[in-house]
Amino acid sequence: MSEVTLKINDKEVKAKEGTTLLQAARSVGIDIPTLCYHEKLAPYGACRLCMVEIARGKRTRLVTSCVYLVEDGLTVQTESEKVIKIRKMLLEFMLARAPGVKTLQDYARRYGVTRTRFEVEPSFCILCGLCVRYCAEVKKANAIGFISKGTERQVMFFPDIANEECPKCGECFSICPTGVLPSNYAIARVPHFKWPSMAWLTKQP
Amino acid sequence: MPRLNSAADLEKLRQKILAKSDGKKRVVSVTNGTDGRTRHSQDIVKNFIDEIKKQGLTGKVIVKSTGCHGFCEKEPTALILPEGICYVSLKPEDVPEIVSETLVGGRIVERLLYEDPTTKQKIAKESEIPFYKYQSQALLGNNRFIDPRSIEDYIALGGYDALAKALFKLTPEEVLEEIKKANLRGRAGGGFPVGRKWETTRNAPGNTKYIIVNAHEGEPGAFKDRTLFEGNPHLVLEGLIIGAYTIGAHQGYIYVRHDAPVLIDNITTALTQAKEYGLLGENILGSGFNFNVEVHRDIGIFVSGESSALMAAIEGAVPEPRPKYIHTSVSGIRESPSNLNNVETWANVPLIINRGAKWFTGIGTEESKGTKLVSLAGNVRNTGIVEVPMGTTLKKLIYDIGGGVRDGKKLKGVHVGGPLGGCVPEGLLDLRLDFDELAKAGTPIGAGSMIVMDEDNCMVDAARYFLNFSTEESCGKCVPCREGIYQMLKILNRICEGKGTTGDIELLEEIGGVLQDASLCALGQTVVNPVLCTIKYFRDEYKAHIEEKRCPAGVCF
């Protein structure tokens, strides 16, 4: 694979073709904040914290650095004014959902977000989907998934699979940035009892 | 049904159908689509058939159960051909009178005619009803002559001629050239040039290519694709097959809403009939070209109409958009090049091939060519599907065709493009129907829906309505869209309850800006349009809510 040269924050960076902007930046020690990124998982592009501003000639564009691939001659700004404005707002959104999370608080400090302007209504989960994707992509177990849609979206263990798979694994607990998973898992354990057979209902005389 | 093995076979079949139908016979064309059926149109069709038998007209009159002709407001309607007499707002019990008076006696039933609301004059001829008079129905016009469940009706009107022309007289390159010359732009909202899109998929590496009809029209106030597809399914299908030939695809999909039973039924019937005639499937018309089509139903979420989400759904995955810096026209379904166009776009293709790019470019504005379907709804006298040349002013649409605002109220604005569009205030009604002109005004044409708002509509409440729709129709994958919509809706609710505070408008604008920049897909990026646009044009109304705790339209609190 051939190598390309690009500029990230005025620093010349060489990267292999096919690597993402995020990987290229991190390889030279430029830190871009992420929440839904994990090197073992396919890029997801949902937390939007890793957005950066790219330029080719005079045209600039905001892209997700965990998905966008390096290009020769590209100029990248990881901390431009627009980017910071977006990150601040996203952090405010998430702090209203999961106020006590350390990663969020660290990022908030980094970007000078002292408080969220939105009413705090904790759901404790930021829906980064690390657990869901780890379970599906790495463990191939699908014991946890998203339910519902839009603003009602939630993460949930599926009791039937979770009771089979999770006792021997539990790896998602450690990658969850909010630490809400164990209690989620506990909820899934509660309804675990064997339903009486309903075969008599359909039995033919 | 005999299989057609050449263009000559198709022509022979057409002559046979025309000879059998005998142009002198009278036709009663009853609208029996989704809208009509909610008002007993099925009984009306049945009554016509029974009554014609009873009054001894068997063999002299043909009853045709058709899709919607456009004038949804007055459905069910019956059009008597060849005279062109149109009876509106029919009830099943009106049928015997129409048969005895008009079909037997040759007299007109006055009470069932359309009455002009301003002049109180009765109008007998359909073509003279103002709603139809100012339209030019290139796509929709044939709906009244076609039973959507009869491929013969479509063939009799010259159907599949364009396909035969493309297959036997033109190379794929020539078809592409014609579409490019016609400057056909996608009717789904973005207005992307269709020719360029086709070319990308055609030239993309890979042997397997897919093409898709996006019939997932899900926003409130939009129903033009359903009407067109339901009433004339073969027109869209013909366009699709021509597209497949041009792009080199052998598998097509029709992505349709699960809750459109009549439409799904008409599509499946059309596919079966086309297959039986050899117009679809293996060796189409004996040309050696193979193409199959599958119908795919959605699971009931608006965002699944977004291209990458739609393709995920077809793959069998959860319909969530993915960040794409490689277009789906290069890497779509199962990472193969996939070309997606919506119903109205495909329907334009046979017309362009038949009549030529010159005809097409003769209609419309400099950059937006052809006609455009618009779903006209809201507080306007005549609601329905309107087809007008691009470049028609909104004023003409609302006043000449729509008949003005209902109940003599004062017009406030017209909301264009549904939950992803914006509201054009009364003062800007000279804007023309044009992709770029409307987008520039902050009210992209979107799915072509227009909802007329009068003085009794509160614009804050309207913005809240659209945002509320979006809370359930976003997938919830990315943070800005999911949380942003939620927080914006909370602010709007607050304002509408009279609890708005200073700074709320600015906060809405700030959140809106972030959503436009940071959302993953087009839904999140445009979902804020109704809010930002109403703030732009109706800021005073927001201010009245917040500062004076007063709703000027008297809707809120």
B318 and B195 within one domain: yes
Instruction: Indicate whether B360 pLDDT > 70.
Output: yes
Check CB contact under 8 Å for A89 and B487: no
B466 and B520 within one domain: yes
Rounded to the nearest angstrom, the minimum Cα separation between A164 and chain B is 24
CATH number of the domain at A30, please. Answer: 3.10.20.740
Rounded to the nearest angstrom, the minimum Cα separation between B318 and chain A is 10
Check CB contact under 8 Å for A127 and B476: yes
- Closest by Cβ to A153, choosing from B476, B487, B518: B476
Check CB contact under 8 Å for B476 and A89: no
Instruction: Please tell me if residue B477 touches chain A, with a CB cutoff of 8 Å.
Output: yes
Q: What does the pLDDT average to over B450-462?
A: 95
Q: What is the pLDDT of residue B323?
A: 87
Amino acid (one-letter) located at A181 = L
Instruction: Please tell me if residue B474 touches chain A, with a CB cutoff of 8 Å.
Output: yes
Total domain count for chain B? Answer: 4
Instruction: Indicate whether B150 pLDDT > 80.
Output: yes
| B154: in domain | no
By percentage, how much of chain B surpasses pLDDT 90? Answer: 89
B471 and B404 within one domain: no
Q: What is the pLDDT of residue B231?
A: 96
pLDDT classification of B199: cutoffs 50, 70, 90 = very high
B377 and B355 within one domain: no
Instruction: Indicate whether B219 pLDDT > 70.
Output: yes
| B290: in domain | yes
- Nearest residue on chain A to B301, alpha-carbon basis: A149
Rounded to the nearest angstrom, the minimum Cα separation between A151 and chain B is 5
For A28, the domain range is 3-79
Q: What is the pLDDT of residue B447?
A: 85
Rounded to the nearest angstrom, the minimum Cα separation between A54 and chain B is 13
Per-residue pLDDT tens over the stretch B404-452: 999 989 999 999 988 899 999 999 999 999 999 999 998 888 888 999 9
Q: Most A CBs within 10 Å: which of B514, B516, B525, as the mutation test of the A interface?
A: B514
Q: What is the pLDDT of residue B442?
A: 87
| A198: in domain | no
Instruction: Indicate whether B255 pLDDT > 90.
Output: yes
Angle B23-B28-B29 from CA coordinates, rounded to 5°:
100
Q: What is the pLDDT of residue B235?
A: 98
Check CB contact under 8 Å for B487 and A96: yes
Q: Most A CBs within 10 Å: which of B327, B471, B487, as the mutation test of the A interface?
A: B487
- Nearest residue on chain B to A96, alpha-carbon basis: B483
For every one of its 205 residues, what pLDDT tens digit does chain A have, with 9 covering 90 and above?
A: 699 999 999 999 999 999 999 999 999 999 999 999 999 999 999 999 999 999 998 899 999 999 999 999 999 999 999 999 999 999 999 999 999 899 999 999 999 999 999 999 999 999 999 999 999 999 999 999 999 989 899 999 998 899 889 999 999 999 999 999 998 888 877 655 555 666 676 666 5
Check CB contact under 8 Å for B482 and A117: no
Total domain count for chain A? Answer: 2
B232 and B186 within one domain: yes
Q: What would you measure as the largest C-alpha separation in chain A, in angstroms?
A: 81
Contact B217, B228 (CB under 8 A): no
Specify the pTM: 0.93
Check CB contact under 8 Å for A96 and B483: yes
Cα–Cα distances (Å) from B95 to B54, B66, B237, in that order, read 12, 17, 34
Instruction: Please tell me if residue B373 touches chain A, with a CB cutoff of 8 Å.
Output: no
Q: What does the pLDDT average to over B339-365?
A: 96
Q: What is the pLDDT of residue A190?
A: 65
Find the chain A residues whose C-beta atoms sit closer than 8 A to any C-beta of B.
43, 45-49, 51, 62-64, 67-69, 82, 85-86, 89-90, 93-94, 96-97, 117-119, 126-127, 129, 146, 148-153
B345 and B410 within one domain: no
- Closest by Cβ to A48, choosing from B475, B479, B489: B479
pLDDT classification of B456: cutoffs 50, 70, 90 = very high
By percentage, how much of chain B surpasses pLDDT 70? Answer: 100
Q: What is the pLDDT of residue B472?
A: 87
Question: Of B5-9, B299-303, B309-313, which gets the smallest average pLDDT?
Answer: B299-303
B180 and B219 within one domain: yes
CATH number of the domain at B166, please. Answer: 3.40.50.11540
Check CB contact under 8 Å for B476 and A117: no
Cα–Cα distances (Å) from B136 to A56, B130, B371, in that order, read 45, 12, 8
B488 and B446 within one domain: no
Rounded to the nearest angstrom, the minimum Cα separation between B513 and chain A is 9
Check CB contact under 8 Å for A94 and B514: no
Q: What ipTM describes this predicted complex?
A: 0.91
Per-residue pLDDT tens over the stretch B45-62: 999 999 999 999 988 999
DSSP string computed for B426-453: GGGTT-BS-HHHHHHTT---TT-EEEEE
d(CA B312, CA A203): 40
Per-residue pLDDT tens over the stretch A25-68: 999 999 999 999 999 999 999 999 999 999 998 899 999 999 99
For B57, the domain range is 19-135
| B343: in domain | yes
Per-residue pLDDT tens over the stretch B256-280: 999 999 999 999 999 999 999 999 9
Instruction: Please tell me if residue B483 touches chain A, with a CB cutoff of 8 Å.
Output: yes
Rounded to the nearest angstrom, the minimum Cα separation between A120 and chain B is 11
Residues of chain A contacting residue B489, judged by C-beta atoms under 8 Å apart: 151
B446 and B463 within one domain: no
How many residues in chain A? 205
Rounded to the nearest angstrom, the minimum Cα separation between A161 and chain B is 19
| B501: in domain | yes
Q: What is the pLDDT of residue A160?
A: 84
B174 and B257 within one domain: yes
Of the three residues B135, B151, B184, the one that is the final residue of a domain is B135
Check CB contact under 8 Å for B517 and A126: no
Q: What is the pLDDT of residue A205?
A: 59
B275 and B324 within one domain: yes
Pick the more confident residue, B283 or A198: B283
CATH number of the domain at B37, please. Answer: 3.40.30.10
| A141: in domain | yes
Residues of chain A contacting residue B519, judged by C-beta atoms under 8 Å apart: 48
Calculate Rg over the CA atoms of chain B: 24
Instruction: Indicate whether B373 pLDDT > 70.
Output: yes
B300 and B168 within one domain: yes
Of the three residues B360, B384, B407, the one that is the final residue of a domain is B360
| B82: in domain | yes
Sheet (strand A3-8) strand order: A11-16, A3-8, A75-77, A51-56, A59-64
Instruction: Please tell me if residue B479 touches chain A, with a CB cutoff of 8 Å.
Output: yes
**Average pLDDT in chain B:** 94
Instruction: Please tell me if residue B505 touches chain A, with a CB cutoff of 8 Å.
Output: no
Q: How many CB atoms lie within 10 A of CB A84?
A: 14
